[in-house]
Amino acid sequence: MTTYKLIALDMDGTLLNDRSEISPSNAEWIHKALDAGYIVSFSTGRGFQSALPFAEQLELTTPMITVNGGEIWHRPHVLHRRTYLADGTVERLHALAEQYGTWFWGYTVEGIYNRERWLAPGVAPSSMHWLKFGFDTPDTAARQAIIDEIHRWGSLEVSNSSPTNLEINPPGVSKASALRELCGLLDMDMSQVVAVGDSLNDIAAIREAGLGIAMGNAQEAVKEAADLVTVSNNEDAIAVILKNIMKP
């Protein structure tokens, strides 16, 4: 029987409820897991600054994966690795967003930029360190056209964190690749990982982990890829999962 050691938790739609809160029950069972010797790690599309308050709330000193694997942290504030989008990529992605009139955003080391707060006149995207770019639109045809165009460019990673958005990372960057690297740092195997999530940016990690769990509110493709489907993010799902994993 596999002994699980690392619990990798997506945040939005997974650890967090629809009010972006960690429920008392989820927090309680995370602390029980930590006390029992498990490593509980965020594995999120959020940037570090956005994920950090929740890590501080739980008093986590464990590794973190942020921006879909674009950043791997030994522990909060102690960076292991960052991977940037290549020069020129954000200019092309930004032009696509403008062409299709979508909401867009981009994560840099320096901050978050979006349609309402883009770069100041005269500031070139190439002067920034870009980690991820995103689109959001309810227009299914526009999303597919953007996906098709990006695929024509080559090997960028395309996923999502909700049914209406697209998230673009550098080639080879995903939560799964980050978890593989983290396992190497922690001297463990992916078979010892439990990966939990709800969106397409979780699907590779869910497939590769020893135990892949989809949320009850997950997208259907994620449920199909998972070993198990649990309750929704509004039903203390992380507490439910940890109770079962920690059964004697």
Return the CATH fold of 6-82+173-245: Rossmann fold (3.40.50)
Nearest CA-CA partner of 213 in 235, 231, 229: 229
pLDDT given for residue 1 in this prediction: 52
Residue range(s) occupied by CATH 3.40.50.1000 in the chain: 6-82+173-245
Mean pLDDT of 21-43: 98
Beta-bridged to residue 113, according to DSSP, are 106
Residue range(s) occupied by CATH 3.30.1240.10 in the chain: 89-169
- A 10 A CB-CB count for 76 gives 17
- Single-letter amino acid code for the residue at 26: N
Beta-bridged to residue 166, according to DSSP, are 135
Q: How far apart are the C-alpha atoms of 237 and 245, rounded to whole Å?
A: 12
Catalytic residues: 10
The pLDDT tens digits of the residues spanning 177-202 come to 999 999 999 999 999 999 999 999 99
Question: Does 248 have pLDDT greater than 80?
Answer: no
Whether pTM exceeds 0.85:
yes
| DSSP H or E stretch at residue 147 | helix 140-153
Question: Does 134 have pLDDT greater than 70?
Answer: yes
CATH number of 89-169: 3.30.1240.10
